[in-house]
Amino acid sequence: MTTLTLAKALNLGLRRCLADDPSVVLLGEDIGRLGGVFRVTDGLQAEFGPHRVLDTPLAEAGILGTAVGLAYRGYRPVVEIQFDGFVYVAFDQIVSQVARMYARTAGTVRLPITIRIPVGGGTGAAEHHSESPEAYFVHTPGLRVVEVASPQDAYTVVQQAVACDDPVVFFEPKRRYYAKGEVDTGAALADSPPMGAARVVVPGSDVTLVTYGGLVATAVDAATAAADDGVSVEVIDLRSLSPADHDAVAASVRRTGRLVVAHEGPHEAGVGAEIAATATERCFEYLEAAPVRVTGHDIPYPPAKLEMHHVPDLDRILDGVDRVLGRVPATGAVAR
């Protein structure tokens, strides 16, 4: 086991992909000589050459269009979108081409493209640099959508995504890039949890708290604080947003009888709505209270000095736990 930051774990995972498969190529803005804005690809161009790690123009639609052509020719492109809000420029390529090609060609053409996107707030950055656009892609058939929360998952899941024959939107919570954790770099992918499986991070018996990405660490802190108050909170890291592991969520809710879902994206039609609705459909007779969602507000991302009021924090998640336990008025079961 080695202690790594999430960013370094991604770097080592991508290095292993490049070393193991000559069809893997990396494309993105400043990912080569500079090593990327967050230095995730640092040193990879020097090791594998500019024909495997390509610096591209500032043109996200062109980057994705190039990736489509490369995938058509048998390559496995790994695209980096420099910041979450920049992916909107490439939205047409992703939704109209990447997601649909397999169905359009009756299964004869696969596009094994991995689209890496630093995501979320909490870094003091401006709009277009702090977005949470995951719901757009979860709503798009033909895409797999994942978001990692730990260095171990960063190392393992990025390799699983690149090896997958389906296109994968791979979100990386940028405020956790430099969080450290133990990573088993010698583990075989075959022995790792499947890319689509959720993970119980903290076991509990009173409330199920489902989240992903940058909020997993906050949820763990909330579970610790709740335990001091005599409440046992089970924290589930979804890991995969599409397809989501609804079986794991349902199994937990059937034991606890209560569900809180937390994410940074807006409340309206967010990922949490789908998790809560599906859990209600599957576990209605087990629920002791209506599910509660703790989310970002339904506004454009605010200026940096206001983001602490927008991104769900420890207090807001604990308020959601109190609501589902009936300790405070439910007020529509939305902890915004």
Say how far apart CA 61 and CA 82 lie, in whole Å: 13
Distance CA 295, CA 281 (A): 21
Query: How many CA atoms within 13 Å lie on the side-chain side of 41?
Result: 32
Rounded (5°) CA angle 255-259-264? 140
Name residues whose C-beta falls within 8 Å of residue 93's C-beta, 6 or more positions apart in sequence: 61, 64, 65, 68
Token pair 């602490």 is at which residue?
A: 308
Alpha-carbon distances of 316 from 6, 103, 119, 325, 326, rounded to whole Å? 26, 42, 21, 14, 15
Using the structure block, give the residue that is written with the tokens 């209270």: 289
Structure tokens at 152: 């171990």
Rg (CA), the chain: 20
Q: Which residue has the tokens 């967050």?
A: 38
Q: Which of 51, 128, 129, 139 is catalytic?
A: 129
Is there a catalytic annotation at residue 267?
Answer: no
291 preceded by a cis bond (ω within 30 of 0): no
Residue-level length of the chain? 336
Annotated catalytic residues are 129
